[in-house]
Amino acid sequence: MTPFQELQQALRASPQQWLVTGAGGFIGSHLVETLLTLGQRVVGLDDFSTGRRSNLWDVKRRVGPQAYERFHLIEGDIRDEAICTTACAEVDRVLHQAALGSVPRSIEQPQRTHAVNVDGFVNIALAASERQLPFVYASSSSVYGDHAELPKREPALGDPLSPYAASKRVDEIYAAAFRTSYGLRAVGLRYFNVVGPRQDPAGAYAAVIPKWLAAFKSGKRPYINGDGLTSRDFCPVANVVQANLLAAYADDDAVGQAYNVGLNQRTDLNQLFALLRDGMAARGVDCAEVQPEYRDFRAGDVRHSDADVSLARDRLGYVPEQTLADCLGETMDWFLENEAS
């Protein structure tokens, strides 16, 4: 039995109450779904500035109305100190996912990015520290910046390439300071490119996979930023959920650290394009002959990413269970089932 399987068994036997910030978001909604499936009680906090109510409707559909009764939503902004205090008042553990994502958006909106990702982080971390709650927070592989080493290892940081990257690095610094000053039991998770069902295909800052799927379905030609040789460690969201739950029960010697969460596997954009195009064609979409349109490289993007997950494996028990191929299959099936709505 894996550490995650053991934890799931323990959670079913002894339910807890969890706070998930950003509960209506892509990752947050998957955390809510898994926790409800495991019999937990969940408080969700979201202002729906980027999260979607439809994600929570999908959770309700999947877990059933009875399980969903154990979910309580607080609609509010993490920039509001009082809301953060209220959200933490009666929970046992905090999974902090709320943030303003996207490198391009952070370049266009640096003040807003800082306000949400840093000021909001300080508010929720302080509220958690006042009650000495285990606190897991979403960091990002973007903190590695211009450091060229592959695979990425936790100690080797470069200069940040965007305000988003800077905000996530500042969060890690605050987590360390709060541990020293207030005893906060924080564990950071440096997400690599998380993929899976419920990613939003709409808007200027949409993730690449749902954007491409929407293009294939509508008969449009998807575009690739750069030459297509840019590579990413695409991590299935199921593995991110696993890492969060394990981190919430981290031993004393594992807290106070940020860990890579990925597959330790690189896929370039040309390869990803072919996988999605062929997968959609196999599902009846008329896109088998579609070729990408290549555009300029995007400002602030790193060229390659690849996660060394050995530290998370050794200290948290993290062992990625879902493959990229299986995740892409689930994502395409979900998209085709839900795209009309």
- How many Å apart are CA 184 and CA 181, to the nearest integer? 8
The question of whether 164 is a catalytic residue gets the answer yes
- How many Å apart are CA 185 and CA 260, to the nearest integer? 18
User: Which of 164, 249, 259, 318 is an active site residue?
Assistant: 164
Residue 298 near residue 104 (C-beta atoms within 8 A): yes
Within 8 A by CB and 6+ apart from 51, the residues are: 22, 23, 24, 25, 28, 29
DSSP secondary structure code for residue 286 in this structure: S
Please report the sign of the dihedral spanned by the C-alpha atoms of residue 327, residue 329, residue 335, residue 337: negative
- How many Å apart are CA 336 and CA 203, to the nearest integer? 19
Distances (CA, A) of 34 to 38, 46, 259: 6, 18, 21
Residue 107 near residue 162 (C-beta atoms within 8 A): yes
Q: Which tokens belong to 151?
A: 């695979």
Q: Which tokens belong to 123?
A: 């508010």
Residue 68 near residue 55 (C-beta atoms within 8 A): no
Active site residues: 164
